Amino acid sequence: MNQTQKKVLRIIEDLKEHLSYLKLFGFQEIPVEIPSLENFKNDVSKKPLTNMSLTLSEIKEELGDCRRCKLFSTRTHIVFGVGNKNADIVFVGEGPGQEEDKQGVPFVGMAGQKLTDIIEKGMGLKRSDVYICNIVKCRPPNNRDPEKDEIDACSSFLEKQIKAINPKVIVALGKPASSTLLGRNVAITRERGTWHSFQGYQVMLTFHPAYLLRFYTEENRRLVWEDMKKALSAI
């Protein structure tokens, strides 16, 4: 039984005890305020309901000193993810680069600085407001794209992270992240700026910040800003 299940069990036991106590004092029923139920419905309407998801620390614990795929042999650090555990937006990239591998933190190299600029200067949020992670948690050698067997071994942890955070929007950065979340080959230049769904979560596709560094044109900047405005409108 995980920590969340234990907490729910404790709450049920406390509630049972409290109800028995009220019964002793002659209570036959408990009034329920219908408006509070309405508020509850409104509050959760934008987020998919998660069922008994693990916490981020439990997921990290489960990942442990992972050797589920060949990337373990060349990594320095596992790069799990960083940010607000209750974030409305989760950014998903493809895998850690050299600097990320060294520090154990995602998006801290040059592409990371670009992503931080997009979040802070463009979207007007703080980097610590959002959550940032990758499809695979260990660096693919020479920054190559993650391979299918590596994605298959690692992606269940990404799914668990998303369920734990329960965001309103996922932003998929680049083709490998978009293709993994959508379960098909995504043509990112054609499909960026469009909405999709991953297990009930809204997904906005956009370019990877490394692509922006390589092709830093006014047009590409404008396109990414259009995509981020859409993501912002959903939160």
Q: What angle do CA 132, 138, 142 make, to 5 degrees?
A: 110
x-or-dash pattern for ligand SF4, window 131-150, by CB under 6 A? -----xxx-----------x
Pairing of β 169-173 and β 201-206: parallel
**Which residues in 9-68 contact ligand SF4 (CB under 6 A)?**
63, 66-68
Q: How far apart are CA 93 and CA 135, in angstroms?
A: 6
Q: Please state the φ and ψ torsions of residue 64, each to the nearest 5 degrees.
A: 55, -145
Stretch that binds ligand SF4, among 69-77, 173-181, 202-210, 215-223 (CB under 6 A): 69-77
Closer by beta carbon to ligand SF4, 114 or else 160:
160
Cβ proximity to ligand SF4: between 119 and 135 the closer is 135
Select the residue interacting with ligand SF4 from 54, 56, 59, 78 (CB under 6 A).
Answer: 78
Looking at beta carbons only, is 78 or 119 nearer to ligand SF4? Answer: 78
Sign of CA dihedral 171, 174, 177, 183: positive
Q: What is the CA radius of gyration of the chain?
A: 21
- Residue 156 beta carbon to ligand SF4: minimum distance, rounded to whole angstroms: 9
Residue where the block lists tokens 């933190």: 105
Indicate the SS3 state at residue 121. helix
Residue (68 or 230) nearer to ligand SF4, CB: 68
Check binding of 177 to ligand SF4 (CB under 6 A): no
The span from the CA of 11 to the CA of 105, in Å, is: 36
Closest CB to ligand SF4 among residues 72, 225: 72
Residues that bind ligand SF4 (CB under 6 A): 63, 66-69, 71-72, 78, 136-138, 150, 153-154
